[in-house]
Amino acid sequence: MPSYKLRYFDLRGRAEVIRWMFACSRVEYEDDRIKSEEWKEMKNNVQDFPFKQMPVLEVVSDDGTKTVVAQSQTILRFVGTELGLNGKTKFDVARCDMLNEHVMSALMTLPWEVEDKEEKARLMLEAVTGPITEHLKLLETFVQDSGHLVGSDFTSADINFSTACEFLTPTCPALLDCVPKLKALDEKVRGSPGIAKWIAERPVTHI
Ligand SMILES: N[C@@H](CCC(=O)N[C@@H](CS)C(=O)NCC(=O)O)C(=O)O
């Protein structure tokens, strides 16, 4: 069994979906949280951080070889494959990919770069009630009779959708009321034993 070390700031951010995937599968990994002060020195080590950014996932294979996987969407896909969370067929894998990209497109409409608090809150509400709601209505059409987005069990698509909601519902708690199938899926993901345990125990961070 390979060993895994996920390296990111002490934030949910781009790493939380990966943490939930490990939690869902109950596979051990090291959750390495790097302080901003340490990061300035560390980021120039391109062996460990190939793009001078995080998250990265270090994987040590059974033969001792270390591989660094960078770029959050690539880590999402890779961990999905490692943990059997990308469905059963090549079309399931493609469906996970396309839904994860759709969720990323939705998140890209948020005002990440805006620093002024009031302006940010205004633009957040505008995005969440506008383009994000439209993205969610489209995503709702992909929920299967099983209640899942892909096949009949948890996949990276379910988990990624649910972690994305954590960025959105603080701005608009009733956001999922217009997409009841997704609302039920979010509850199912958050209530699954490994993830519920992680949510109860995880470090509390502002984002
Ligand atoms: N395309 C990259 C973007 C990664 C990224 O923007 N990481 C930020 C944190 S969310 C970072 O490392 N910032 C610190 C820096 O650039 O020095 C990905 O998806 O992983």
CATH number of domain containing 134: 1.20.1050.10
Same domain (yes/no): 69, 97: no
Q: Report whether residue 43 contacts ligand 1, using a CB cutoff of 6 Å.
A: yes
Instruction: Say what the pLDDT of residue 96 is.
Output: 98
Same domain (yes/no): 77, 94: no
SS3 204: coil
Q: What is the mean pLDDT of residues 85-114?
A: 98
| Axis crossing angle, helix 156-168 with helix 180-191, rounded to the nearest 10 | 100
Ligand 1: residue of 6, 14, 101 to mutate (most ligand atoms within 8 A of CB) is 14
Same domain (yes/no): 175, 97: yes
Ligand 1: residue of 37, 54, 207 to mutate (most ligand atoms within 8 A of CB) is 54
Strand partners, 6: 31, 57
pLDDT bucket at 127, cuts 50 / 70 / 90: very high
Same domain (yes/no): 14, 80: yes
> Strand pairing of 3-9 and 30-34?
parallel
Q: How far apart are CA 172 and CA 149, in angstroms?
A: 23
**Cα atoms in the Cβ-side hemisphere of radius 13 Å centred on 112:** 9
Same domain (yes/no): 41, 131: no
How remote is the CA of residue 59 from the centroid of ligand 1, in Å?
19
Same domain (yes/no): 33, 100: no
pLDDT bucket at 160, cuts 50 / 70 / 90: very high
- pLDDT cut 90: percent of the chain above it: 99
DSSP code of residue 178: G
Give per-residue pLDDT as tens, 10-69: 999 999 999 999 999 999 999 999 999 999 999 999 999 999 999 999 999 999 999 999
Residue 41 · residue 195 · CB < 8 Å: no
Q: Which atom of ligand 1 is nearest to the CA of 54?
A: 12
Residues 6+ apart with CB under 8 A from 194: 23, 24, 25, 26
pLDDT bucket at 177, cuts 50 / 70 / 90: very high
Instruction: Report pTM.
Output: 0.98
Same domain (yes/no): 78, 95: no
Ligand 1: residue of 18, 53, 160, 206 to mutate (most ligand atoms within 8 A of CB) is 53
Q: Would 206 be classed as within a structural domain?
A: no
Q: Would 72 be classed as within a structural domain?
A: yes
Q: Would 207 be classed as within a structural domain?
A: no
Same domain (yes/no): 80, 109: no
* Mean pLDDT score of the chain: 98
Give per-residue pLDDT as tens, 191-206: 999 999 999 999 999 9
How remote is the CA of residue 129 from the centroid of ligand 1, in Å?
26
Same domain (yes/no): 78, 117: no
Instruction: Say what the pLDDT of residue 102 is.
Output: 98
Domain total in the chain? 2
Instruction: Say what the pLDDT of residue 99 is.
Output: 98
Instruction: Say what the pLDDT of residue 63 is.
Output: 98
How remote is the CA of residue 144 from the centroid of ligand 1, in Å?
33
Q: Would 147 be classed as within a structural domain?
A: yes
Residues spanned by the domain of 76: 3-84+195-201
How far the first Cα of the chain sits from its last, in Å, is 32
Burial class (CB in 10 A: 0-12, 13-18, 19+), 2: middle
Q: Which atom of ligand 1 is nearest to the CA of 70?
A: 20
Q: Report whether residue 14 contacts ligand 1, using a CB cutoff of 6 Å.
A: yes
Instruction: Say what the pLDDT of residue 187 is.
Output: 98
Q: Which atom of ligand 1 is nearest to the CA of 43?
A: 17
Same domain (yes/no): 48, 130: no
> What CATH number has the domain bearing residue 77?
3.40.30.10
Residue 189 · residue 181 · CB < 8 Å: no
Instruction: Say what the pLDDT of residue 143 is.
Output: 98
SS3 40: helix
The identity of residue 185, as a single letter, is: L
Same domain (yes/no): 99, 169: yes
Same domain (yes/no): 76, 99: no
